[in-house]
C-alpha cells in the first residue's frame, strides 16, 4: 500500500473514532476511542513529517577546571 493511501486510512480512522466519541458515554470505551485517535494521529504524523532526531551540533565542551570525559 503506498504511503499516501496509508496516511489517508489513518486519517479516516482518526475521523471515525472522533465521531464515535461524540456518541458514547463516559466509559472505558471512550478512553479506548481516545487512544485510537491519538495512535492514528501519531502514526500519521510520523509518516507525513518523519521522525525527528535531536543530536548535538558541536562536540561537548570540557567543564571549567576539569578534563573532558571520553
Cα distance between residue 2 and residue 44, in whole Å: 13
Distance, in Å, from the CA atom of 31 to the CA atom of 54, rounded to the nearest integer, reads 31
How far apart CA 55 and CA 26 sit, in angstroms, is: 42
- At 57 the pLDDT is 64
Phi, psi of 23 (to 5 degrees): -100, -15
At 57 the three-state DSSP class reads coil
pLDDT exceeds cutoff 70 at 7 = yes
**What does the pLDDT look like over 25-62, one tens digit per residue?**
766 678 888 888 888 888 888 888 775 555 566 666 66
- Residue-range domain boundaries for the chain: 3-49
Amino acid at each position: 500500500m503506498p504511503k499516501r493511501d496509508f496516511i489517508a486510512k489513518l486519517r479516516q480512522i482518526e475521523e471515525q473514532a472522533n465521531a464515535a466519541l461524540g456518541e458514547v458515554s463516559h466509559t472505558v470505551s471512550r478512553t479506548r476511542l481516545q487512544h485510537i485517535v491519538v495512535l492514528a494521529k501519531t502514526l500519521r504524523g510520523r509518516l507525513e513529517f518523519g521522525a525527528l532526531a535531536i543530536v548535538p551540533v558541536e562536540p561537548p565542551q570540557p567543564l571549567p577546571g576539569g578534563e573532558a570525559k571520553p
